[in-house]
Amino acid sequence: MSPRCETTSARARFLPWAPLLTLVVMVGPVVAGVLGTIAPAFGYMPALGGDGITLNAFAMLFDWPGITRASLLSVITGLAATAMSLLLVAMICAAWNGSRAFRVIERMLSPLLSVPHAAAAFGLAFLIAPSGWIARATSPWLTGWDRPPDLLILQDPYGVSLIAGLVVKEVPFLLLMTLAALSQIRARQARDTALALGYSPVTAWFKTVFPRVYTQIRLPVFAVLAFSMTVVDVALILGPTTPTTLSVQILKWMNDPDLGMRFLASAAAVWQLVLVVGALLLWRVGEIALAALGRRWVASGARGGATRTIRAISLTAALLSASAIVFGILGLLVWSFVGFWSFPDLLPGAFTTKTWMRHTMNLWPIVSETLIIASVATMAAMLLTLACLEAEERYGLRPGSRALWLLYVPLIVPQIAFLTGLQTLAIFTGIDGNRTAVIAVHIIFVLPYVFLSLADPFRAWDARYGHVARALGAGCNGVLWRVRLPMLLRPILTAAAVGFAVSIGQYLPTLLAGAGRVQTLTTEAVALASGGDRRVISVYALSQTALALLPFAFALFIPAIVWRNRKGLRHA
């Protein structure tokens, strides 16, 4: 805590309130939204003539023939995607942590993370489709196909392609969170001690490091589980169609011109929330069971082995997961320039810029809308985050570990469960359907990510620089603006890039808060999914990816240029 700051200016008076304001901006809409979902679910929506408490909507929901299958799909895809992502991340860390391959993987993380979910899903779809690259690469010499086979690989009824699409995007996220957790515990020492006791590297890591890492990444894992169960955009692209997943069905009911369907949609959203809570509890039970087994395994003293096999398997899986995104984007690039492409040729017979030319004019207003929303949302989130962190510094308003939960509230409460209610509230207060509403909703999701990426570097800054600066006559604001923020330029820009990418990728919040009238690259790209024109989809998905990647390039190059003669900040 830095002592005795001036508190007379308006800005200084605002600062102590920053954490509360941030909380209201971030968690307030979630709470309001959940309430706005629950009320109509039980029949209460006076504007539509519902003023009693009934269970009619739930009766309708459970009469819907698809309910069992949709619910099962939600739970199974969520649990499977989360378990597979976590397992892969743990295996990678156990087998490769500290190696050169691991550093390569680390460096690929940011770009992989910033690829929007929708773009990654489209890329994967174009890879695995019956007429996709994988089928082309293996036809006809291996498969014997000279026409795209009539197979339901995409949007398969079991949600396998949906799970795959989720895993390739959640692995980089969980890996990043795991790396942050690893840097906070003395992982290396523990593992080396175990190695000296004769344990094989992978076993040593799982027995000594993983339990401590897991307690630190539990919240991100929960966020992944909730997200995977309820995701809408990826499910629209890769998920099954008859029936769809529950969240997609809720969106359909929400968009029904018959406003009465909102009762049903709200009931389904509440049911979706119940499913998520149930799955989280189930996961927790699984944690406890695995921990008990793990303790026995530790007590057994088994030294383990098979290091090479596990190394090979985990690296292959990681490469597969990363290449699904990389080749997916490459595929989008090829498709956006395709003139004519016959099966099973590996590359198109003719390239053309026609698709790009035809859509450039339409793209511009959408690109600028996307940029405005992302910039304002990121700036607002950045200001609130910096104000919170500085207030923590000046007034010792340090959040406890319980407050960390609050950051994850918007990430764990399913979007569909509270955005549904938020839209219902917005319609009857007349504030929906404009850019401001979309920005406000984006801030809810941008804030946690900006805060999570900036908090550690901000807190890790050596406070003695501040003490020296103050002894030299600088006030609290002087320390902040002239010393701390310039020194933290790189992490600040990185956090802004993360926030920007998060905003670019938002589908459901944009759609519901914008009432379909605010068009961003993401909403447009996903809307094109049902049309199936791969060329146009590719143009939109690529533009979306480029916009999300751009700030990461800035975050890399701006500090490198500004601090080119400052060796001390090269790795800051």
Partner 1 sequence: MRDPGMTLDDVVIRRDGRTLVDISDRVAPGEVLTVMGPSGSGKSTLLSYIIGTLETGFDAAGRVILNGTDITDLAPEKRHVGILFQDELLFPHLSVGENLAFGLRASVKTRTARREQINTALEDIGLGGFADRDPETLSGGQKARVALMRMLLSDPKALLLDEPFSRLDTERRDQIRTLVFDQARAKGLPVLLVTHDHADADAAGGRVHRLS
Closer residue to partner 1, CB minimum distance, 81 or 397: 397
| 3-state SS class at 338 | strand
Closer residue to partner 1, CB minimum distance, 103 or 570: 570
Taking alpha carbons only, the member of 559, 528, 525 closest to residue 541 is 525
Strand 350-351 with 44-45, pairing: unpaired
Q: Which of residues 356-415 bind partner 1 (CB under 8 A)?
A: 396
DSSP state of 7: -
Q: How far apart are CA 357 and CA 363, in angstroms?
A: 10
Shortest spacing between CB 477 and partner 1, in angstroms: 11
Closer residue to partner 1, CB minimum distance, 294 or 478: 478
Shortest spacing between CB 462 and partner 1, in angstroms: 7
Q: Which of residues 461-520 bind partner 1 (CB under 8 A)?
A: 462, 464-475, 478, 482-483, 486-487, 489
Q: How far apart are CA 182 and CA 213, in angstroms?
A: 6
| 3-state SS class at 91 | helix
Shortest spacing between CB 219 and partner 1, in angstroms: 28
> Is omega for the bond preceding 211 within 30 degrees of 0, making it cis?
no
In the list 3, 52, 400, 532, the residue contacting partner 1 (rule: CB under 8 A) is 3
Beta bridge partners of 551: none
Tokens coding 494? 């990185």
Closer residue to partner 1, CB minimum distance, 330 or 569: 569
Shortest spacing between CB 4 and partner 1, in angstroms: 4
Q: Is 278 a residue that touches partner 1 (CB under 8 A)?
A: no
* Binding footprint of partner 1, residue count (CB under 8 A): 33
Strand 50-51 with 338-340, pairing: unpaired
Closer residue to partner 1, CB minimum distance, 345 or 462: 462
Q: Is 572 a residue that touches partner 1 (CB under 8 A)?
A: yes
| In contact, 263 and 56? CB cutoff 8 Å | yes
Shortest spacing between CB 473 and partner 1, in angstroms: 5
Q: Is 295 a residue that touches partner 1 (CB under 8 A)?
A: no
Host H or E run for residue 350:
strand 350-351
Q: Which of residues 548-567 bind partner 1 (CB under 8 A)?
A: 563, 565-567
Q: Is 51 a residue that touches partner 1 (CB under 8 A)?
A: no
Shortest spacing between CB 8 and partner 1, in angstroms: 12
In the list 5, 213, 498, 512, the residue contacting partner 1 (rule: CB under 8 A) is 5
Q: Taking phi first (over 0 means left), then psi (-120 to 50 degrees means alpha), and beta for anything else, what does residue 49 get?
A: left
- What residue has token string 């490198």? 560
Strand 50-51 with 350-351, pairing: unpaired
In the list 25, 27, 190, 569, the residue contacting partner 1 (rule: CB under 8 A) is 569
Closer residue to partner 1, CB minimum distance, 456 or 462: 462
Shortest spacing between CB 400 and partner 1, in angstroms: 15
Shortest spacing between CB 556 and partner 1, in angstroms: 18
Shortest spacing between CB 484 and partner 1, in angstroms: 10
Q: Is 4 a residue that touches partner 1 (CB under 8 A)?
A: yes
Calculated CA dihedral for residues 22, 498, 183, 491, nearest 10 degrees? -80
φ, ψ (nearest 5 deg) of residue 350: -140, 140
Angstrom distances, CA of residue 188 to CA of 103, 140, 172: 15, 49, 22
φ, ψ (nearest 5 deg) of residue 3: -85, 150
- Residue ranges binding partner 1 (CB under 8 A): 1-6, 396, 462, 464-475, 478, 482-483, 486-487, 489, 563, 565-569, 572
